Amino acid sequence: MSDLQTMTFGKALNAGLRKAMADSDRVLLMGEDIGRLGGVFRVTEGLQAEFGERRVLDTPLAESGIVGTAIGLAMTGFRPVVEIQFDGFVFPAFDQITTQLAKLTNRHEGALSLPVVIRIPYGGHIGAVEHHQESPEAYFAHTPGLRVVSPSTPNDAYWMIQDAIASKDPVIFMEPKSRYWPKGEVDLSDRALPLHASRVVRRGTDVTLVGHGAMVTTLLQAAVLAEAEGTSCEVVDLRSLSPVDYGPILDSARSTGRVVVAQEAPGHASVGSEIAATVAERAFYSLEAPVLRVSGFDVPFPPAKLEGVYLPDADRVLEAVDRALAY
């Protein structure tokens, strides 16, 4: 029997963290201002009061030290969940993540597990300043030894954070910060999909639209506008960026014959590039047009007043749809 509740994406994450902490006393949270304050986005609000300061730790402002400490805790049997306050602040910890966290299990020939989750609020749409609206997911998806996921709905946020914590491998958990406030239905009794499964979120027949995180909302908006003009778009939510579940993507590509891949991140050497290349390679004889990409521009994220120019919107997606149909 389903147990449905309506909550914001941020509250769903909070509920998922609470459930994981209640289920195991080996789960602990670490990060800057996550305890008494509850985090910049209030995702951890109330958890320190409920579970205590030994399990919800306010750390110094030192990302490399936070992740290094989490690695040590994981080696002794804990399941630390690290919050990086904003996407642009992850880079001081980049060495720890890519040269230690990602490699230690392989270095120990599989004898050592590192169940560390690193939560990263990422992406634009909040009018923030420099270092607060990055999309660094490709760095981590490119790194062997890391799992990388990005939920787009409150239901996925609730279940995927729990599944990430339960994983024996390190997980980079990308949270689209512009989705923290919109509400959605959460089924507290049924997780529906595994952590690394992609999903068709809207059926269509003419063009396949593929994206992740906040971009899924943009793709759904574009699909509604396209339908008004007589074009039926199918929308696929990646959910997992490493590994990628290509089954639903390729099935859709072979059905529609046209694919547009969209993301907020710059396009060069990106997750979207990899999706486009793989679809072109594995569904070549079903395609009626080249796989097209829509992305942020290959420049540093601009000042807040220009983010509307930089970030792909429904119009830019529809432009790509029109180009795909023109072939």
The catalytic residues are 132
Q: Are 234 and 200 in contact (CB under 8 A)?
A: yes
Q: Are 286 and 319 in contact (CB under 8 A)?
A: no
Q: How far is CA 44 from the centre of its chain?
A: 18
Q: Which two tokens stand for residue 278?
A: 């793989």
Q: Are 71 and 100 in contact (CB under 8 A)?
A: yes
Region of residue 221 (phi > 0: left; psi between -120 and 50: alpha; otherwise: beta)? alpha
**Radius of gyration from C-alpha coordinates of the chain:** 19
Q: Are 195 and 240 in contact (CB under 8 A)?
A: yes
Give the residue carrying structure tokens 């789960």: 27
Residue 188: enclosing H or E segment and its boundaries? none
Q: How far apart are CA 78 and CA 309, in angstroms?
A: 44
